[in-house]
Amino acid sequence: MSGNGYDFNKILSQRAQNLEASPTFALEKKIDAFDLKLKKEGQFVIRFGIGQPDFNTPENIKDAAKTAIDENKTKYTASTGIRELKSAILEKFRKENDLEYELENIFAGNGAKQVLDVIIRTFINKEDIVLVPVPYWVSYTQQVILSEGKPVFVKCNKDLKIDLNDLEKICIKYGKKIKLIILNSPNNPSGAVYNKSELEAIGKICLKYGIFIISDEVYEKFIYGDVRHYSIASFSEELKEITIIVNAVSKTYSMTGWRIGYCAAAREIINQMAKIQDQASSNPCTPAQWAAVEALAGSQESVNVMKNEYEKRRNYIFQRLCSIKNIKCNLPGGAFYIFPDISGLFNNEIKNSFDFADQLLEKDFVAVVPGAAFGDDRFIRISYAASMNNIKEGIDRFENFCKRIS
Ligand X SMILES: Cc1ncc(COP(=O)(O)O)c(C=O)c1O
Residue 313 · residue 319 · CB < 8 Å: no
Contact with ligand X (CB under 6 A): which of 47, 113, 240, 307?
A: 113
Closest approach of ligand X to the CB of residue 385, in Å: 10
Distance, CA of 202 to CA of 111 (rounded, Å): 26
Task: Tell me the C-alpha distance between 208 and 177, whole Å.
Answer: 14
Chosen residue from 85, 232, 239, 248 binding ligand X by CB under 6 A? 248
Q: What's the closest the beta carbon of residue 188 comes to ligand X, in angstroms?
A: 4
- For residue 120, the minimal CB distance to ligand X (Å) is 12
Q: Which of 106, 108, 112, 156 binds ligand X (CB under 6 A)?
A: 112
CA 41, distance to chain mean position in Å, is: 35
At 167, phi and psi to the nearest 5?
Answer: -60, -45
For ligand X, the closer CB: 287 or 401: 287
In whole angstroms, the minimum distance from the beta carbon of 344 to ligand X comes to: 27
Q: Which stretch binds ligand X (CB under 6 A): 84-92, 191-199, 248-256, 311-319?
A: 248-256
- Range 205-224, binding ligand X (CB under 6 A): 216, 218
Nearest distance in Å: CB 8, ligand X: 29
Contact yes or no for 73/290 (Cβ under 8 A)? yes
Closest distance to ligand X from the beta carbon of 146 (Å): 15
Walk across the sheet containing 369-370 and list its strands: 337-338, 380-383, 369-370
Give the span between the Cα atoms of 157 and 139, in whole angstroms. Answer: 22
Query: If binding is defined by CB under 6 A, does position 313 make contact with ligand X?
Result: no
212: part of which helix (H) or strand (E)? strand 212-216
Q: Which stretch binds ligand X (CB under 6 A): 15-23, 108-116, 126-134, 368-376?
A: 108-116
Q: Which of 118, 127, 134, 264 is nearest to 187 (CA)?
A: 134
Q: Where are the beta strands (DSSP E) in 82-145?
A: 106-109, 129-133
- Local structure of 367: helix, strand or coil: strand
Stretch of 26-34, 107-115, 264-272, 282-290 lying at the interface with ligand X (CB under 6 A): 107-115
**Can you say whether the dihedral through the CA atoms of 183, 187, 190, 193 is positive or negative?**
positive
**Residue of closest CB approach to ligand X:** 111
Of 184, 190, 254, 353, which one interacts with ligand X (CB under 6 A)?
A: 184
CB of 250 to ligand X, least distance (A): 3
By three-state DSSP, how is residue 181 classified? Answer: strand
Contact predicate 221/303, CB 8 Å? yes
- Select the span of 36-44, 111-119, 201-209, 369-377 touching ligand X (CB under 6 A): 111-119
**137 binding ligand X? (CB under 6 A):** yes
Among 49, 53, 111, 394, binds ligand X (CB under 6 A): 111
> Contact 333/184 with Cβ under 8 angstroms?
no
User: Which of 112/321 has CB closer to ligand X?
Assistant: 112
Determine, following the binding rule CB under 6 A, whether residue 250 of this chain makes contact with ligand X: yes
What is the Cα gyration radius of the chain? Answer: 22
Question: Which residues inside 7-66 make contact with ligand X, applying CB under 6 A?
Answer: 51
Comparing CB distances to ligand X, the nearer of 53 and 340 is 53
Residues between 256 and 295 with contacts to ligand X, criterion CB under 6 A: 256, 261
What is the DSSP code string of 147-160? Answer: TT-EEEEE-B-TTS
C-beta of 263: minimal distance to ligand X in Å? 11
**Which of 256, 259, 248 shows the shortest CA–CA distance to 287?**
259
Which of 162, 151, 255, 150 lies closest to 200, judged by CA?
162
- Asked if 143 touches ligand X (CB under 6 A), the answer is no
Under the rule (CB under 6 A), what is the footprint of ligand X? 51, 111-113, 137, 184, 188, 216, 218, 248, 250, 256, 261
